[in-house]
Structure 1
Amino acid sequence: MPDPRDLHDVFAAALCAHDSRRLLGCFHPGAVVVTPVGIVEGHEQIEWYFGQFFSIVPDLTTEVTTMLVHGDSIAVEWVTSGSQAGGMPLPDGTEIPGTGHHVRWTGCGMWTVEDDRFVTGRIYYDQLGAYMSLGCRLVRTEPGSAAAPVHMVVPDREAGPAPAAGSPDQEARAETGSGSIRRLLRRLSGR
């Protein structure tokens, strides 16, 4: 059995090159990937999912920071960044128009390989960190109540500065989270 690292290296290179054909070649035709936006199945939906990132962040790059292989499974931690040029849909149906803001988020993927291609995958990433780096912020809908619902405010929709992307405090929190993921991955691999 080939090393799943080799397959992931091809996948990561295709992702950074925005090469949909080569990216799809890394997936079994019936592959199922669980993502923060839902489940995508098969080449057509997988191409749509990654295509969204290509159109929203056309200079998207991904750096793998941790990779662990166990049999036919691979766990990968990564940092993705770029500039938001295209409209980014939000869960409530609104859209953040292209801002040109630098966006950066960390994430983790868990993949199972069969016949030299991914057959299943799970992608987890810091959605709130990505939204905040675009200038979004969370606000309570009923000020003064600890149990009040919170909603996301899109840039330019309400007054007030948003947290600066890449601030030392934000990066320190990200590094702490990154260390937690590394510890979890080491524990899962028995190291």
Structure 2
Amino acid sequence: MPDPREIHDAFAEAFRAHDTRRLLDCFHPDAVLVTPAGMVEGHEQIEWYFGQFFSTVPDLTSRVTTLLVHDDTVAAEWVTSGTQTGEMLLPDGTVIPGTGCPVSWTGCGMWTVEDGRFVTGRVYYDQLGAYLSLGCRLAQNKPGSAAATPDREARPVPVAHPRDQETRAEPRSTSIRRLLRRIFGR
């Protein structure tokens, strides 16, 4: 029976080749995968999840930078990149059209193996970096509403410095906006 590292190596190779058949061979038919986009269960949903990446970024490639194995668990960190030429379906149903722009993000995952296949997986990745590279931007929601308000700029609330109530620390949203303006020239 293959050890967890061999299962992950086969998965990584199938992912790089965009070979969903071989990729699914690495998962138990009832496997559960928890991702930033939500939970997927079973081969059909897992195939759909990875297929979204393959169709959105047809030249998608991934490089494992760290791999650790402990008993039946594999932890992996990776860098994924490519060019977004296909549509990207977001969890809320919004579709981002292909931009032709390069995309890149870092991520990590924890995989549990039983009987030579993944039975659970938890995937974490830099969602902000991924969505910014897709051309998305941050917008503040209206209080009490799930609808984004892209034309309204967030008004930072001053935060009192813990050591001195008279000293005001710069709100985090202001420093993030300044950093994004510096990076993207906006």
TM-score normalised by the chain length of structure 2: 0.76
Q: Which residue of 1 aligns with 2:129?
A: 129
- Quote the Cα distance in structure 2 between the aligned partners of 1:82 and 1:75: 23
**Cα drift, residue 92 of structure 1:** 4.0
CA distance in structure 2 between the aligned counterparts of 1:163 and 1:94, rounded to whole angstroms: 26
Matches for 1:65-144 after TM superposition, within 5 Å:
65-140=65-140, 141=149, 142-143=152-153
Give 1:131 deviation, angstroms.
1.1
Runs of 4+, deviation exceeding 6 Å: none
1:146 aligns with 2:156: yes
Tell me whether 1:28 sits opposite 2:28 in the alignment.
yes
Q: After superposition, what is the alpha-carbon deviation per residue over 1:114-143, rounded to whole angstroms, capped at 9, x for unaligned? A: 111000000011111011112222144543
> Identical aligned pairs, as a percentage?
71
How far 1:144 moved relative to its partner? 5.8
Q: Residue in 1 aligned with 2:16?
A: 16
5+ long unaligned stretches in structure 2: 141-148, 158-172, 174-180
Q: 1:147-185 CA deviation, whole Å, 9 max, x = no partner?
A: 5xx9xxxxxxxxxx8945xxxxxxxxxxxxxxxxxxxxx
Secondary structure of residue in 1 paired with 2:138: strand
Q: Which moved more, 1:30-39 or 1:1-10?
A: 1-10
AA aligned to 2:38 is: G
Contact 2:139 2:154 in 1 (8 A): no
Residue 88 of structure 1: how far off its partner (Å): 1.1
SS at match of 2:156: coil
Q: Secondary structure at the match of 1:78?
A: strand
In the alignment, residue 100 of structure 2 is paired with which amino acid?
Answer: G
- Once residues 86 and 182 of structure 2 are traced to their aligned partners in structure 1, the CA distance between those partners, rounded to angstroms, is 20
Q: Deviations over 1:24-80 (max 9, x none)?
A: 000011101101111111101100100000100111111000011100001000010
C-alpha spacing 1:162/1:118, structure 2 compared with 1 (3 Å): farther
SS at match of 1:69: strand
Q: Residue 170 of structure 2 corresponds to which residue in structure 1? A: none
Q: Which structure would you say has the larger Rg?
A: 2
Contact 1:133 1:163 in 2 (8 A): no
